[in-house]
Each structure stands twice: as C-alpha cells, then as structure tokens.
Amino acid sequence: MPLGTLDRSPPPFFKQGTSALTKLVLFSAISLALMFTDQHYNIVQPARWALSLIVYPVQWLALRPQVLWDQVDEAFVGKQEALDAVEQARVQVLSQAVRTSQLEQLALENKNLRELLELRDRVGTTAMAAEVLYEASDPFTRKMILDKGANNGVQTSSPVMDERGILGQVTRVHPMVSEITLVTDREHSIPVLNTRTGARGVAFGESGGAPLLELRYMATNADIEVDDVLTTSGVDGVYPPGIPVAKVVKIERRADSVFARILCESLARVQGARHVMVLVPVKSALPSFKELPPEPQPLPKGGRR
C-alpha cells in the first residue's frame, strides 16, 4: 500500500471532544448564573421544599433507632434514681414557690408604676412547643432542626428558647421541619441588656471552638463584671425584652485596644436541648397603627384662610 494512502488520524480511543478548560469555563459560568439568579429571584426554594418533603421520611426512619434506645434506657431507670428525682423536684417546687411569691409582688408593683406613669402594657406574644430532632452536621455552623415547620405556623426569624433562656432564631422553614441558628453561631447577633447596670450592647457568636458569645464594642472602662447576666433588650423588634441570654465569664482589658474582649456563656442549652418554645417575633405581634390625620396648616399672617 502506498504511504500516501495511510490514515494518519488518531484511533477513536484517543479522540477527545471539547477541551477540559472549555468545560471548566462553561460550567463555572452556568454555576455563577444560577447562584446570581437564586440570590435575587429565589428560584431554588421550590426545589428545597420538594427535597425536604422527600428526605423527611428518611430522617424519620433514621431517628427511630435512637428513639427506641431512649425509650428502653428510660424504662430501666432504677428505683433509687427515681426517688432522688422526686426529692429534688420537691425541693425545687418549694424554691419556686418562694420565687413565685416574690415575682407576684414585683409584678404588682410594676403594674402600679406603669399605670401611674400611663405607660402602655407590655405586648404579649404567643408560643409553640417543638422538639429538637438533631443538630446540623456542618462543623462550621451551630444549627438545630426542629420537628415543626410551615405547616405548623412557624415563621422565619422567630425566636426560640428553652426553660433557661434564648436558644436561637429560626433561619429556614420547610413544610415539616425548620432550622434554627443558635446564639453561639458566628453569624448570629442579638441585642442584650446588662441587668445589673442597664447598659445595652450586642452579643455575637464566638468564632472559636468553644460555644460562647462575645459582647463586642464595649469600652475597656465599661462597668461590667464577671457573672453579670445579659437579657434581651427588645430593641430589634424580634426578641421580647427581659429573656435571659448569657452570663459573662471572662473579661480581657488590653492597653492597646479601646474595646474590651468580653466572653459570655449561653444560659440556654446550646448543646443537648430537646424541648423548646418557638415564639412569634415581636414585630409580628405589634398592633397596626392607623394613619394619623394631617396636621392643620397655620393661618396666614393678618388674615383668614
């Protein structure tokens, strides 16, 4: 066979289509376009809802062994432990009775002072009981999943608390479940009030490994001490005022900084919480105000209207 008639093209095994660089650029552009579209038009939300409905039975089945184990473990609690629990409950009831009588007296005095000053009564809020299914698996965030969702009336940005204080805030709602971001998450912030001094501040989730909060932007000479209790100030329109948030555990005053580094420990159970209460945001519970009538125009000088 003459040499000029030989097929010099590579075998089909070595033939390639579009280059790898072209594919990388193409799919990167598609990814950026999808991210931009979802950020502005929220087109992925229906897909998230559908995936949540699909994954919910799998989550429920995955939690059944743990639920069964908890039931078996509770069934084998010893008699002595039960008696100790009853005794502790009796002591706690007596202590709560004393505190309740004191709180009733303080509430009566507070009511009389508010009526004397003609102040509006404090706006109440409704609550919903929920149970923590599990903690999020992302090691860089601190989130929990609740067993109540949009079908139960849970709203985004609703405060969540346990019997000790504020636990976090609802940041994502699905039909059957909802996700809460804990107060110790680095992306979370909450306005607080020092119950001892009345000073206000903002507590942020600590970015370190420990589940703590940091009270930022406080001057080095600020009147704050270890064991000071911080409660919600209510200025953000989300959290009701007066709910415990954290306790100051460490204060660092450095000469090279105008702000002190104040670390706080959450009073709520950010690790191991099970039963919680989901509150309605304060701004959702506020009554709507009617439009005020227009102010009267002043009369012109030396004449009538």
What's the pLDDT tens digit per position in 273-302? Answer: 888 889 888 776 555 544 445 555 555 555
Which is the CATH superfamily of the domain at 126-284? Rod shape-determining protein MreC, domain 1 (2.40.10.340)
User: Which residues, 6 or more positions from 204, have their beta carbon under 8 angstroms from its beta carbon?
Assistant: 186, 188, 189, 213, 214, 216
Could you give phi then psi for residue 58, rounded to 5 degrees? -65, -40
Give the total residue count for the chain. 305
CB 232 within 8 A of CB 240: yes
The per-residue pLDDT for 292 is 45
Is the distance from CB of 200 to CB of 207 less than 8 angstroms? no
Q: Are strands 212-219 and 229-232 parallel, antiparallel or unpaired?
A: unpaired
Q: How far apart are CA 25 and CA 31, in angstroms?
A: 10
Q: Check: CB of residue 177 under 8 Å from CB of residue 171.
A: no
Asked if 174 contacts 149 with a C-beta cutoff of 8 angstroms, the reply is yes
**What is the token pair recorded at 225?**
């001490």
Q: Which residue has the tokens 């959450």?
A: 266
Domain coordinates of the chain in residue numbers?
Answer: 21-76, 77-118, 126-284
Distance CA 148, CA 179 (A): 9
Q: What band does 168 get if pLDDT is binned at 50, 70 and 90?
A: very high
pTM recorded for the entire structure:
0.59
